[in-house]
Amino acid sequence: MTSTTDTPVADAHRRGGAIVSDERGRIAVRARRRRRTVQVLGYLAMLVALAVVVVPLAWIVLTSFKDRSEIYVQPAVWWPSTWHPENYREATTSVPFWQFLRNSLIVTLILGVIKFVLGVLSAYGLVFLRFPGKNLVFLVIIAALMVPNQITVITNYSLVAQLGFRNTFAGIIVPLAGVAFGTFLMRNHFLSIPPEIIEAARMDGAGHIRLLVRVVLPLSIPTMVAFALITLVNEWNEYLWPFLMADDYSVATLPVGLTQLQNNDGVTNWGPVMAATVLAMLPMLIVFLALQRHMIKGLTSGAVKG
């Protein structure tokens, strides 16, 4: 009697379990398909981004070895039929390339040191010092980030010209020495340092200098590397302001000097121009490859708190 009444119930349970199991299986299959689709779309997006970056660089490098006749041919020829490394010799001899390189090194290194020191010290003051109007100062710094440099060019140019700093390194360096981005980045990172570490150092008698040198800076190496790398690349590639300030080769930086390779009276031989471009990219490329491990870590650690 019991077995006859239990059999339909057991069958119903089994059928219900099978239905639930099938439904779970279908859900799992759909989830796997969605994950696979998202993964494929992600790879496609990365390939597109890679192509956007790599294709122009490949064109620059290949063009630097081409003869003039192959550069202007239609349809475009990617691979040179004959290689012309003499384009690099022409790029370095037809203009004072090494003087431009020296000028770029001077401007970039001095600006890098100034911005790094000011950025770290100003961020430390905004986080670890108590003074009235601290938040207002930070708002002013944020506002400075919102203003494009091109808007202040005319004002800065008039001021520098009146001070007699045109065609000097001081005229190039001083107006570019603002550190709004560096202060913002380093401040956000300093806010992410556990307050227990800071309090422990203060209880041990650490003053501001010791706290900065012994505690804060060692905990901030990735962010400082990212800050330094971004600063160096930006200053190395700066074109507009050095172009306005340089009247001759004595202070012209590399991006400005390379325009002298273009022939405005005829057809420009883009082989030497691209060769000089490759040479101009190499220093920052080497620096980036040496420090890129710290780049993402430093930027993300500086974005933890606002």
Measured in whole angstroms, the distance separating CA 244 from the mean position of its chain's CA atoms is 24
Q: Where are the alpha helices (DSSP H) in the chain?
A: 2-63, 68-71, 86-93, 97-128, 134-146, 153-163, 169-173, 180-192, 195-203, 208-210, 221-237, 240-245, 254-257, 270-301
pLDDT per position as a tens digit, 232-283: 999 999 999 999 999 888 999 999 988 888 765 666 788 889 999 999 999 9
Q: What is the pLDDT of residue 306?
A: 44
pLDDT band (50, 70, 90) for residue 305: very low
pLDDT per position as a tens digit, 123-146: 999 999 888 888 899 898 888 888
Rounded mean pLDDT of 177-182? Answer: 88
Query: At residue 237, what is the residue type?
Result: N
**Whole-prediction pTM:** 0.79
The Cβ of residue 280 has, within 10 Å, a number of other Cβ atoms equal to 22
What are the distances in angstroms from CA 208 to CA 124, 138, 214, 217?
9, 20, 10, 12
What are the distances in angstroms from CA 286 to CA 43, 131, 233?
27, 42, 11
> Euclidean distance between the first and final Cα of the chain, in Å?
73
35 burial class (0-12, 13-18, 19+ CB within 10 angstroms)? Answer: exposed
- The domain 92-300 is placed in CATH, from the list 3.50.50.60, 2.40.10.220, 1.10.3720.10, 3.20.20.70, at 1.10.3720.10
Q: Where are the domains of the chain?
A: 11-63, 92-300
* Euclidean distance between CA atoms 289 and 212, whole angstroms: 28
Q: What is the pLDDT of residue 262?
A: 78
